Structure 1
Amino acid sequence: MVQESLQRLHPGLDVEIVTIRTSGDRGERERLGAFVREIQEALLANQVDVALHCLKDLPTEPVPGLSLSAYLEREDARDTLISRGPGLESLPEGSVIGTGSLRRTSQIANVRNDVVFKPLVGNVDTRMRKLIEGEYDAIVLALAGLKRLGLMEDWGRSEYKELVVWPKSVETIVPAPGQAVLVLETREADAAAIELISPLHHSLTSACSRAERSFLQAFGGGCSVPIGAYAQVNEHGFGMIGCVASPDGKQYLKGNRNGSLDAPEEMGAEFARELGGHGAFEIVQAVLATRDGGIA
């Protein structure tokens, strides 16, 4: 997608795709920046000139010498439940739902505390196969990934046609900060690369994503903590929904806030402090203490 866009913008430009296997690809997902670190190291070593990332995989702390130089227009940020028939509300008690995301399990558990969660790994096809074969009663995936693979356009004629897709609103399952956003990272001083990719930059996606990541950064938990944030343009500038939850969903705080497109980071941080005043920081600290071996 990016390769074609750049070649269309700059006829004759030679764009080579370099595939880099990351720690996350090797299953080492507990490492901070597991899906991006090796790519960033290649960028710093001048082995590549532009790095393509899923924004939600990037730690909120910037890497010295690197810059997020273009935010691509956001795809559909919703999560979707996929099952062999029933939707979330009608799944029988004790149903097994597959997801590896604490953010998703905590929000689903808040409304369905009678289901069972089981880790889900592998590519999309592997996950679908496990659902079809009965290892799970339902799984939860990002809708953007299915759309980028072209599956949603022809679902009824695909090999997964017997499965039912149940997209959930951003209010029902608040997306991860930066979900469905692809970004292009460059070396900070590489003016030529930055200029080449600048036409791909989508300023509204950038503003909304930066607000979401500022909200996340204020809690200091990264993707290991059940935190959701989603911003979109509205008549006030942009509006944002955010949530913080305990892994079992029993503690769940959610709110909404409007802000100016001129100061997205400030708005995200202020929104975090607002929820923090209702106990959100305590929820996050308890989760981190448990994760790090302390007593929550």
Structure 2
Amino acid sequence: MKIKIGSRKSHLALVQTNLVINEIKKHCPSAECEIIEISTKGDKILDKPLLDFGGKGVFVTEFEDLILNGNIDLAVHSGKDLPTTLSTGLTILATPMRADCRDVLITRANEPFEENKLCTVGTGSLRRSQQLQGMYPNIKCVPLRGNVPTRLKKLANKEFDAVVLAAAGLDRLGITANDGYTFTYLDPNTFIPAAAQGIIAIEGKSDTPIASLVEKINHVPTNICFNCERDVLSLLGADCHQSVGVYSYIDNENITISAFIGNSGIKTVTTTLAEAKTAASKLAGELL
């Protein structure tokens, strides 16, 4: 079986795509997977915040057009980059096991982050900015875009006192505190991640032989959290113009969902897995 898989060109995106290919080959060793590297609008425009030119869809639209036109079979996305609505005819076929969902405050080694000191923190996320300023009133958040190495290079060059990145991306790239940084991991129960942070999502057409194969690598608990968090996001009508975070985790037969939007404060609900969708709706209602 030949499979054409679309991926962004960054090192992290290619690592994630190869993780997916490795999982596919566990179920179909004879699969011939070809990576098609694509530069999205979001990759090309780095001097403006995402909210200035289209939001999350700027990382996805080109892939969806290529799938619908038959140029590629699948697209591998970071779950947090997906808009709440996909193009007609497409679906998320699988979500492999979630990686670390936490955010990480990163400073240069031996230069600790001082709570009472005026510091500049690089982040392009309204969600991160709002939560950081709630924790550290003296900091100034400055827009920062680009791939992980680019952001860390700016930190090393002292353009910022700190940056905030997703733990999952750092882990997948093999970047650790031993590379000259101090990592402060932020508790996802109090510093709420982006919906689906740490989750890889594989998009394609349903009801095809390739879809049937890809569905075998789906991790059910991750998929439940993925859909639950995106349901909250959708019900809130939230986009990247708003500060919003959603995080869920499963404990035995229960799921706990926490979220905030704007200045709402964090709201949390816990319910059975069977009631996850209802709980997402309830939580969104409490936040609106």
Q: TM-score, normalised by structure 2?
A: 0.86
Q: How does 1:1-296 map to 2 (within 5 A)?
A: 1-27=19-45, 29=50, 30-32=53-55, 33-84=57-108, 85=110, 90-152=114-176, 155-156=177-178, 160-161=179-180, 163-189=181-207, 191-235=208-252, 237-245=254-262, 251-276=263-288
Q: How far apart are residue 67 of structure 1 and its match?
A: 1.1
CA distance in 2: counterparts of 1:46 and 1:262, whole angstroms:
37
Percent identity over paired residues: 30
Please state which structure has a larger fraction of its residues in strand. Answer: 2
Q: How far apart are residue 236 of structure 1 and its match?
A: 5.2
Q: How far apart are residue 5 of structure 1 and its match?
A: 2.0
What residue is the counterpart of 1:285 in the other structure? none
* RMSD, aligned CA: 1.7
Local SS of the residue matching 2:163: strand
Tell me, yes or no, if the aligned pair for 2:123 and 2:163 is still in contact at 8 Å: yes
Provide, for residues 25-47 of structure 1, a one-character-per-residue CA deviation record: whole Å limited to 9, x for no partner.
11173314010110111000011
Cα distance, 1:5–1:235 mapped onto 2, change above 3 Å: closer
CA distance in 2: counterparts of 1:4 and 1:39, whole angstroms:
21
Tell me, yes or no, if the aligned pair for 1:81 and 1:87 is still in contact at 8 Å: no
CA distance in 2: counterparts of 1:41 and 1:87, whole angstroms:
46
Q: How far apart are residue 252 of structure 1 and its match?
A: 4.5
Provide, for residues 219-252 of structure 1, a one-character-per-residue CA deviation record: whole Å limited to 9, x for no partner.
212233111110000245111111122xxxxx34
CA distance in 2: counterparts of 1:112 and 1:252, whole angstroms:
19
Residue type matched to 2:173 in 1? L
How many residues are treated as equivalent by the alignment? 263
Q: How far apart are residue 96 of structure 1 and its match?
A: 0.3
CA distance in 2: counterparts of 1:261 and 1:223, whole angstroms:
28
Unaligned runs of 5+ in 2: 1-18
